Amino acid sequence: MHRYMEQCETEVTNVRAVVHGHVRIPRMAVLGNTFFIDTGGWMPGGRFTFLELETLTPFLGIEIPIPHRRNR
């Protein structure tokens, strides 16, 4: 999270890419070779973001409807 909050674009050495989740952000972000892809697809109104691993091309804005739960 520190890397995202500080907008650190320094590349992580000796790796092609680092992919982060668990820090929900409004849009996918790429800082150096670090990809932040948790765009809240698991939440109502969120969107899933996927990466094609060979090219690291993002597939953005995929929305999957999540039904609202009712209290029983």
In a domain, 40, yes or no: yes
Residues of the domain holding 15: 2-62
In a domain, 68, yes or no: no
In a domain, 69, yes or no: no
pLDDT at 27 over 80: yes
H/E stretch holding 18 reads strand 18-20
The tally of domains found in the chain comes to: 1
User: Residue 2 is encoded by which pair of tokens?
Assistant: 């520190």
Specify the length of the chain in residues.
72
Please answer whether residues 50 and 59 qualify as being in contact, where contact means their C-beta atoms are separated by less than 8 angstroms: yes
H/E stretch holding 5 reads helix 2-5
In a domain, 13, yes or no: yes
In a domain, 72, yes or no: no
Q: pLDDT tens for residues 29-67?
A: 999 999 999 988 888 878 888 888 899 998 766 555 656
